[in-house]
Amino acid sequence: MNKSTFILKGNICYTETRDQLTVMDQGYLVCHEGISRGVYPVVPEKYRDLPVTDYHDLLIVPGMSDLHVHAPQYPFRGLGMDLELLDWLNTHTFPEESRYADPEYAEKAYRIFTEDLRKSATTRAAVFATIHIPATKVLMEQLDASELKTYVGKVNMDRNCTDTLRERDAEAALESTSEWLRETAGKYPNVRPILTPRFAPTCSGALLEGLGALQREYGLPVQSHLSENLSEINWVQELFPWSSCYGNVYEHYGLFGGEAKTVMAHCVHSSDREVKLMKNSGVYVAHCPQSNINLSSGIAPVRRYLDEGIPVGLGTDMAGGANMSMFRCIVDAIGVSKLYWRLVDQGSKPLSMEEAFYLATKGGGAFFGKVGSFEEGYEVDALVLDDSGMRSTKELSTRDRLERYLYLAEEYGRLAGKYVAGKKIL
């Protein structure tokens, strides 16, 4: 029998819709060749021969998708947190990313990132590398071996950055990107390439235009940054004076949704026009609450995006965010939504636990396909959560145990099992 065909038993929680948790205590999750055949209170007759792994009283929840994470920034996580975006990039980010010109350095640094990511709650991730092809290949190889499912992007930037990270010109950048795509094609079953213009300020129009052509040629997805910081937005307006909004720059070059599946990180200060564009283009928002705190960017209006029907997931934005934990990311998303309600707009209801959990699982998972739920037909990414270290005198419902786990995961939680697309990796 296929090793990805089995049943998991435990207290199962997942979301089908944004605002409701589906809970089945002592339920059976049926996985057939990596795909869910549903969750049942008793094993249906036709599945009774499948092997059952009984996790007893532990919680079983969908794996989480980190929609925005910079692998090369992992070595300086939790450092230099007293700066805003543009100063932080020049002081901390660009010098560190420059070191990845050396594949041996990349080998060592990415090893730590990959090992820690593998042990985390993340099963899928959209990952930024650097401009360097050899280092990006190292990252792809390591991530492939980790058995996580990821998108990895070789970064493009041909202006407004330190010399050591600037691609010579648009032509060289595009040639290099094509080379990277050719050389890695089909080599890493668990890793797919994603076009990654760093952000509009470091990309010439010619580069963005060429990337749009590559997108159409290869049918690639796209990731970048959007409207994170006020100075950044003003800068984009100066660099692309014809643009109606920051997002319009990407759109103009065919890198903003539509045929190009696109995820944009942050969207903290998007104008009405930009929000409309995001909505019409089906662009995903990677909401990165902790990074938006750390870099003093602000709070993204996530409630509005949800109300508009814009797809939203969560991102750690390592190392704008310091923590790899998607549990922490969920808690931060709830927290900033409360402060947004209190300080900015009392018409904007805070995110409930259920909603934030949805964003981390099914919300962000959608970028990867049918991922982030246990409904029939979904790929089985699953986490087994052991909350026995969270001692209490209270009897708790499974729903409440999940809420508590999110808040206390780093201090008292333990990941007791991890499955990606039906494969047990922890």
- Dig out the tokens for 23 from the structure: 């809970």
Contact 221, 151 (CB under 8 A): yes
The CA angle 302-203-268, to the nearest 5 degrees, is: 15
| In the complex, least distance from residue 310 CB atom to its own copies, rounded to whole angstroms | 22
Query: Residue 244 or residue 352: which is nearer to its own copies going by CB?
Result: 352
Query: Of the listed pieces 161-169, 185-193, 289-297, 362-370, which binds its own copies according to CB under 8 A?
Result: 289-297
Please, how many CA atoms are within 13 Å of residue 2, restricted to the half-sphere of its CB? 12
The CA angle 152-379-383, to the nearest 5 degrees, is: 85
Q: Does 335 bind its own copies (CB under 8 A)?
A: yes
Q: Does 312 bind its own copies (CB under 8 A)?
A: no
Q: Does 315 bind its own copies (CB under 8 A)?
A: no
CA distances from 294 to 299, 314, 357 (A): 11, 16, 22
Instruction: Determine whether 198 is exposed, middle or buried from the number of CB atoms within 10 Å of its CB (0-12, 13-18, 19+).
Output: buried
Question: Looking at 17, 90, 112, 273, which residue binds its own copies (CB under 8 A)?
Answer: 112
Question: Looking at 16, 296, 376, 388, which residue binds its own copies (CB under 8 A)?
Answer: 296
Instruction: Build a one-symbol-per-residue string for 350-379: x at contacts with its own copies by CB under 8 A, - elsewhere.
Output: x-xx--------------------------
Residue 356 CB partners (closer than 8 Å, separation 6+):
314, 330, 331, 333, 334, 337
Query: Residue 43 or residue 230: which is nearer to its own copies going by CB?
Result: 230
Q: Which of residues 114-153 bind its own copies (CB under 8 A)?
A: 116
Q: Does 76 bind its own copies (CB under 8 A)?
A: yes
Question: Looking at 191, 322, 360, 385, which residue binds its own copies (CB under 8 A)?
Answer: 322
- Of the candidates 164, 162, 167, the one whose C-alpha atom is nearest the C-alpha of residue 178 is 167
| In the complex, least distance from residue 213 CB atom to its own copies, rounded to whole angstroms | 36
Q: Does 293 bind its own copies (CB under 8 A)?
A: yes
Bridging pattern class, strands 262-266 and 222-226: parallel
Torsion angle in degrees (nearest 10) through CA of 368, 373, 378, 382: 90
The CA angle 295-300-306, to the nearest 5 degrees, is: 155
Question: Looking at 8, 31, 58, 109, which residue binds its own copies (CB under 8 A)?
Answer: 109
Question: Looking at 82, 179, 308, 376, which residue binds its own copies (CB under 8 A)?
Answer: 82
CA distances from 238 to 120, 209, 231, 241, 420 (A): 40, 18, 11, 5, 44
Q: For the chain, how far is it from start to end, CA to CA, in angstroms? A: 21
CA distances from 315 to 107, 125, 327 (A): 24, 9, 11
Query: Of the listed pieces 42-50, 63-71, 208-216, 344-352, which binds its own copies according to CB under 8 A?
Result: 344-352
Query: Residue 280 or residue 296: which is nearer to its own copies going by CB?
Result: 296
Q: Does 44 bind its own copies (CB under 8 A)?
A: no
Query: Residue 5 or residue 229: which is nearer to its own copies going by CB?
Result: 229
Question: Looking at 10, 257, 298, 315, which residue binds its own copies (CB under 8 A)?
Answer: 298
Question: Looking at 344, 369, 377, 388, which residue binds its own copies (CB under 8 A)?
Answer: 344
Query: Of the listed pieces 137-145, 220-228, 306-314, 401-409, which binds its own copies according to CB under 8 A?
Result: 401-409
Q: Three-state SS for 340? A: helix
Contact 123, 420 (CB under 8 A): yes
Q: Does 18 bind its own copies (CB under 8 A)?
A: no
Question: Looking at 117, 211, 285, 334, which residue binds its own copies (CB under 8 A)?
Answer: 334
Residue 45 CB partners (closer than 8 Å, separation 6+):
none
Q: Does 343 bind its own copies (CB under 8 A)?
A: yes
Over its C-alpha atoms, the chain yields an Rg (Å, rounded) of 21
| In the complex, least distance from residue 352 CB atom to its own copies, rounded to whole angstroms | 6
Applying CB under 8 A, which residues contact its own copies? 74-82, 96, 99, 105, 108-109, 112, 116, 290, 293-294, 296-299, 322-325, 331, 334-336, 338-339, 341-344, 350, 352-353, 390-394, 396, 400, 403-408, 410-411
